[in-house]
Amino acid sequence: MKNRAHVFLLALLSALALSACGGGGGAPGTSTTPMTNMGQLRVGLTDAPACGFDAVNVTVAKVRVHQSANASDTDAGWTDITLNPARKINLLKLTNGALEDLGSTPLAVGHYSQLRLVVAANSSATPLANSVVPTGGSEVALDTPSAVQSGIKLIHEFDVAANSLVDLTLDFDACKSVLTRGNGNYQLKPTVSVIPTIVSGAITGYIDPQLAASHPVITAQINGAVVKATVPDASSGAFSLSPLVQSSAAGQYTVVVTADNSATAVITGVPVTAKQDTALSSSGAPIKLAASAMNSVAGTLLPIAAEGSVKANQTVAAGVTVAIKSVNADLATGAYALSLPIGAPSLAAYGSLPLAFTTQATAAGKYGIDASASGFATQQVQVDVSTAGATQNFVLK
């Protein structure tokens, strides 16, 4: 499978080389610093899969960078990559390594401490600039708080050297970023991470195409935290988790495959090498999931104003705990619900293909349920849904 992120980077390096030789040219920036003291910044956008939506649209107006972490919106010194006109992007089309090119700009050599993604506001002229389409439903507006419109602050500092390229991918997690407000209303609370493309690679493979109707999701995790997620191609089952930062010996990835009415599959010790693909399976021998009934864990997460989320973790073997599903609590009621497999997960260690999976019978139906919100202590309870669903309410403090 060809990794589009890698093609994106190679084209970029070629363009920069032409510019350095006096030919070609980049997008205009705001600085007048001589080109001998300049580098180049280019930004792309990608996404993790969303929960319960046919489309999640955001209208991107610009990307802003500044050398000061404390600069306000109106301070001097900002360099902007402006999209003219602002571009409405369906995040759900940006999976399996697909990237939306947001543009590039020359940047003065130095250290940059502030990076912002600016989303245009819904208005009378463009009431659906930011919107969602619930599964099987119609397009409705996605409310954007004023703080979002002034720019989503992204945590990533970087250095620009003379005649060099800084190539960044903004990973916009639509699943975590859309909050339900009841009565068919939705609010954007952006979760966006920044990945340096030049030190990234991909994890690729195939899952059984017969799982396509069961909403399969493949995630790459480190220590139980989801780093990247995607959905496979509906016809072939092909998937690509990209971009992923090159792994270290202590930071190799665990890949988790989930689907409705299916037991979970987990692969440990998956390495990632910059500008290369790590394959987990082939089209002739795709990853398959055992059939499983599902039971739910549901309840409320309070206080509602906390805008919290609930995550189900599963310890599949000693020292191997992974995230299975997560959901945002409803902003109107605090309600949440997670549908989880009762069947035993299967486990494989990365190695030669095809991977050898073993059933982890003692983990069947057992989960840790985490409730969390910014500024509150995380709460966790253990549940067993082997024979029935569970009701679990949380009050964060």
CATH number at residue 381: 2.60.40.1120
What total of structural domains would you count in the chain? 2
Q: Rounded to an integer, what distance in angstroms lies between the CA atom of residue 290 and that of residue 363?
A: 14
Q: Rounded to an integer, what distance in angstroms lies between the CA atom of residue 352 and that of residue 356?
A: 9
pLDDT (tens digit per residue) in 71-123: 998 999 999 999 999 999 998 888 877 889 999 999 999 999 999 999 999 99
Say what the pLDDT of residue 18 is.
27
The answer to whether residue 352 sits within a structural domain is no
User: What residue spans of 129-245 are helical by DSSP H?
Assistant: 146-149, 174-177
Share of the chain above pLDDT 90, in %: 68
User: Are 371 and 297 spatial neighbours (Cβ–Cβ below 8 Å)?
Assistant: no
Say what the pLDDT of residue 135 is.
87
The answer to whether residue 223 sits within a structural domain is no
Say what the pLDDT of residue 159 is.
93
Category of 299 on φ-ψ map: left (φ > 0), alpha (ψ -120 to 50) or beta: left
Q: Which of 31-35, 145-149, 287-291, 363-367 shows the lowest per-residue confidence on average (mean pLDDT)?
A: 31-35
Q: Which residues contact 284 (CB under 8 A, 6 or more apart)?
A: none
Q: Do 306 and 178 share a structural domain? A: no
Q: Do 161 and 16 share a structural domain? A: yes
pLDDT (tens digit per residue) in 258-282: 999 999 999 999 999 988 999 999 9
Residue 187: pLDDT band with limits 50, 70, 90: very high
The answer to whether residue 157 sits within a structural domain is yes
The answer to whether residue 218 sits within a structural domain is no
Residue 250: pLDDT band with limits 50, 70, 90: low
**Domain boundary pick from 171, 190, 209:** 190
Mean pLDDT for the stretch of residues 348-367:
98
Q: Rounded to an integer, what distance in angstroms lies between the CA atom of residue 272 and that of residue 228?
A: 13
Q: Do 180 and 68 share a structural domain? A: yes
**Domain boundary pick from 190, 219, 235:** 190
Say what the pLDDT of residue 1 is.
41
Higher pLDDT, 380 or 45: 380
Share of the chain above pLDDT 70, in %: 89
- Closest listed residue to residue 52, CA positions, set 141, 171, 178: 178
The answer to whether residue 19 sits within a structural domain is yes
Say what the pLDDT of residue 107 is.
93
User: Are 222 and 253 spatial neighbours (Cβ–Cβ below 8 Å)?
Assistant: yes
Question: Cα torsion at 14, 20, 26, 28 (round to 10°)?
Answer: 170
Q: Rounded to an integer, what distance in angstroms lies between the CA atom of residue 94 and that of residue 98?
A: 5
Q: Evaluate the omega torsion of the peptide bond into residue 243 and state whether it is cis, within 30 degrees of 0.
A: yes
Q: Do 304 and 186 share a structural domain? A: no
Q: Which two tokens stand for residue 142?
A: 């996605």
Q: Which residues pair with 254 in a beta bridge?
A: 221
Q: Do 25 and 156 share a structural domain? A: yes
Q: Do 182 and 302 share a structural domain? A: no
Residue 197: pLDDT band with limits 50, 70, 90: confident
The domain containing residue 110 runs over which residues?
4-190
What's the count of helices (H) and strands (E) in the chain, helices before strands? 3, 31
Q: Rounded to an integer, what distance in angstroms lies between the CA atom of residue 189 and that of residue 132?
A: 13
Mean pLDDT for the stretch of residues 23-32:
36
Say what the pLDDT of residue 94 is.
86
User: Are 13 and 24 spatial neighbours (Cβ–Cβ below 8 Å)?
Assistant: no
Q: Rounded to an integer, what distance in angstroms lies between the CA atom of residue 232 and that of residue 203?
A: 12
- pLDDT at residue 8 above 50? no
Q: Which two tokens stand for residue 129?
A: 């600039």
Q: Which two tokens stand for residue 260?
A: 């409705």
**Domain boundary pick from 162, 190, 218:** 190
Q: Do 323 and 182 share a structural domain? A: no
Residue 397: pLDDT band with limits 50, 70, 90: very high
Query: Angle CA(113)–CA(119)–CA(120) in degrees, nearest 5?
Result: 140
Say what the pLDDT of residue 190 is.
87
| β-strand pairing of 114-119 with 294-302 | unpaired
Say what the pLDDT of residue 195 is.
84
- Closest listed residue to residue 235, CA positions, set 264, 204, 209, 267: 209
